[in-house]
Amino acid sequence: MSTIVKNGRWIMTCFIVLWGGMPLLGGNSPERPRLVVGIVIDQMRWDYLYRYQDRYTKTGFNRMLREGFSCENTMVNYIPTYTAIGHSSIYTGSVPSIHGIAGNNFIVQATGKSLYCTEDDEVRSIGTPRDDAAVGKMSPRNLKASTITDELELATNFRAKVIGVSLKDRGSILPAGHAADAAYWFDGKSGNWITSSWYRESLPGWLEGYNQTRPAERYLSEDWNTLYPIETYVQSTPDDNVYEEPYEGDKHPAFPIKTSELVKSQGLDLIRSTPCGMTMTFDVARLAIENERLGGGEVTDFLAVSLSSPDYVGHQFGANSVKVEDTYLRLDKELGDFLAYLDKQVGKGNYLVFLTADHAGAHNGQFLLDHKIPAGNWKEGEIRTALNKHLQERFGKEKLVSSLSNYQVHFNYKQVDETVDMESLRAATIAYLQQVEGVAYAVEMAKAAAAPVPAIIRERIVNGYNHALSGEIQVILKPAWYSDRNLQGATHGTWNPYDSHIPLLWMGWKIPRGQSNEEVYMTDIAPTLAALLRVQMPNGCVGKPITDMLKNVKREGKK
Ligand SMILES: [Zn+2]
């Protein structure tokens, strides 16, 4: 069958060459890039493009800004702003309400059980010593909308090769989509890059070979020191300060970070929170391109890369740390090398690359307070206990609230019987939360569209609300208030600009030079890719193509 098709195709190509005088580019019709590379940088704030710009090379971020198109006001348009939702929303053009990824972990309201975004009991782990290892029992099954990568597969009758690569399972699986050839992620216990039986029955030889070189051990054997003399890191709080969280087993969070020592107690997962985690991810990306011949076939291929280490470093040290600054200076160099590699391997102009983030991230709260900027620490555990006590006095039942995770109130329905009126329970919970310090609003999800809160927040609540998987009440904290992470390090998850303003850069195939300050959304990325590739937009897409850029895309007008 495939021979006939291929022969038919060959005859057709010859006919067109003779008739039209212009050969089709490797049969690649309609006009499309050979390879799309999506790069998601976990926790990258938009302002990092400029915060460290004077020390970025010409070949990394600055090349993308110079040669490509920057959407300077790209916002995440739902809450909560977490990794799994970010990756899902970038690639589906959709929101939790529709695509069903309501957090990294979320609570299935009907059962009260917590579900991890990509967990899947029906698949086996591939590449770990045991195939029942939880780390590999992962798939995109819980993602209920198609991705742009799925749509590329559908548009090419599954001839496109689609591969996801990330240290985090969710950073690899959710972008690669349901119909991917493979998604690979890192298992710190075995030190291997692995996959699951959703995709394949064994690891490809090239990845087994890479695993055998023990990459995490190799990289961690070299300690982490700053790229430049430490006194030149003028954009950050001097190293070894109270706002940062030391590595486990280390007293001071200070350079040099002796990874060669720390690995002995922490294991290979330590690589996640060092810049080497990015190096290793780019290694696997390059190996995938070469060995799977991505960009070398008749149809467009897609490589979805997500760099997780900036998120781990950001959480541990916060946005004003030398560690974050050094991580971005190193990332910039690695990005430059990777783009140069794509020029060589796939050819300048033959690939399309976009770079964005799954969410951004906050400053450390205490650091802000020490600089007289308002901030605060939302003590989730204590507040839940006090709330439950209050509700017990009122309704005579203990533990009516099971969790405040994702800044949502999850009720414990097992405790709710005919003596508890849900309407009164919700009203009492809202009234209580609204007088808790740090709370700006407590909003009943199902009535959020009519809630007296600013429209921008209302829309993000509604977009993030999945009635089967979200709590019933959304808590909106005051700016720079956070759940439990404000003492050391930092976090993300809210609607505020520091969490929701992300970079979005496009470069390569047909992409015009320029930038726009029009507000666009994370959910506009997939439909813009769909327009560029001329494939159908994903099936839950709520975003719009970014016309500011697309209007300047010059096609050759080939029919
Ligand atoms: Zn994070």
pLDDT digit string, tens, across residues 269-295: 999 999 999 999 999 999 999 999 999
CATH number assigned to the domain comprising residue 393? 3.30.1360.150
502 Cα–ligand 1 center, Å: 14
Does 103 map to a domain? no
How do 35-41 and 192-196 pair as beta strands?
unpaired
291 Cα–ligand 1 center, Å: 31
State yes or no: pLDDT of 416 exceeds 50: yes
43 Cα–ligand 1 center, Å: 6
User: At residue 434, what are phi and psi to the nearest 5 degrees?
Assistant: -70, -15
pLDDT for residue 556: 77
pLDDT for residue 485: 65
DSSP class of residue 31 equals S
How do 162-166 and 301-307 pair as beta strands?
parallel
Considering 425, 447, 478, which residue would you say is the last residue of a domain?
Answer: 478
Q: What is the DSSP string of 316-360?
A: HH-TTSHHHHHHHHHHHHHHHHHHHHHIIIIITTTEEEEEE-S--
pLDDT for residue 487: 81
pLDDT for residue 30: 59
492 Cα–ligand 1 center, Å: 6
The beta-carbon contacts of 46-50 under 8 Å, at least 24 apart in sequence, are 46/72, 46/74, 46/357, 46/360, 46/501, 46/502, 46/503, 47/501, 48/328, 48/503, 49/503, 49/505
CATH number assigned to the domain comprising residue 516? 3.40.720.10
Overall domain count for the chain: 2
DSSP class of residue 250 equals -
The burial class, CB within 10 Å (0-12 / 13-18 / 19+), for 57 is middle
- Annotated catalytic residues are 83
| Structure tokens, 179 | 């119909």
Considering 478, 508, 523, which residue would you say is the last residue of a domain?
Answer: 478
Closest CA to 284 of 298, 271, 266, 297: 271
List C-alpha distances in Å: 79 to 186, 262, 463.
27, 36, 7
514 Cα–ligand 1 center, Å: 30
Residues 198-226: tens digit of each pLDDT: 999 999 999 999 999 999 999 999 999 99
Listed in sequence order, the residues at least 6 apart from 216 whose beta carbon sits closer than 8 Å to its beta carbon are: 186, 188, 191, 268, 271, 276, 280
Q: Work out the number of other CB atoms within 10 angstroms of the CB of residue 204.
A: 19
Domain identity same for 459 and 521: no
Summary mean pLDDT of the chain:
93
Q: Is 236 in contact with 321 (CB distance < 8 Å)?
A: yes
pLDDT for residue 438: 96
Domain identity same for 191 and 321: yes
Residues 94-152: tens digit of each pLDDT: 999 999 999 999 999 999 999 999 999 999 999 999 999 999 999 999 999 999 999 99
Does 389 map to a domain? yes
Residues 454-500: tens digit of each pLDDT: 999 999 999 999 999 999 999 999 999 998 766 899 999 999 999 99
Q: Which helix (H) or strand (E) holds 521?
A: strand 514-521
Domain identity same for 198 and 337: yes
pLDDT for residue 11: 39
pLDDT for residue 484: 72
Domain identity same for 206 and 249: yes
State yes or no: pLDDT of 28 exceeds 70: no
Domain identity same for 380 and 346: no
pLDDT for residue 248: 83
State yes or no: pLDDT of 68 exceeds 50: yes
Q: Which helix (H) or strand (E) holds 476?
A: strand 473-477
pLDDT for residue 34: 97
Domain identity same for 436 and 517: no
Does 104 map to a domain? no
Does 9 map to a domain? no
Residues 301-328: tens digit of each pLDDT: 999 999 999 999 999 999 999 999 999 9
> pLDDT band at 227, cuts 50/70/90?
very high
> pLDDT band at 555, cuts 50/70/90?
confident
469 Cα–ligand 1 center, Å: 20
Domain identity same for 439 and 531: no
Helices within 128-168 (DSSP H only): 148-155
Considering 445, 478, 511, which residue would you say is the last residue of a domain?
Answer: 478
Domain identity same for 390 and 505: no
Domain identity same for 399 and 531: no
pLDDT for residue 137: 98
Does 110 map to a domain? no
Does 483 map to a domain? no
Domain identity same for 194 and 221: yes
Domain identity same for 450 and 329: no
pLDDT for residue 213: 98
Positive/negative CA dihedral, 289, 293, 294, 296: positive
State yes or no: pLDDT of 21 exceeds 60: no
pLDDT for residue 249: 78
Residues 371-395: tens digit of each pLDDT: 999 999 999 999 999 999 999 999 9
| Structure tokens, 558 | 């080939």
Does 271 map to a domain? yes
Domain identity same for 401 and 353: no
Q: Is 513 in contact with 77 (CB distance < 8 Å)?
A: no
pLDDT for residue 2: 37
Domain that holds residue 142: 31-98+116-367+497-550
pLDDT for residue 557: 66
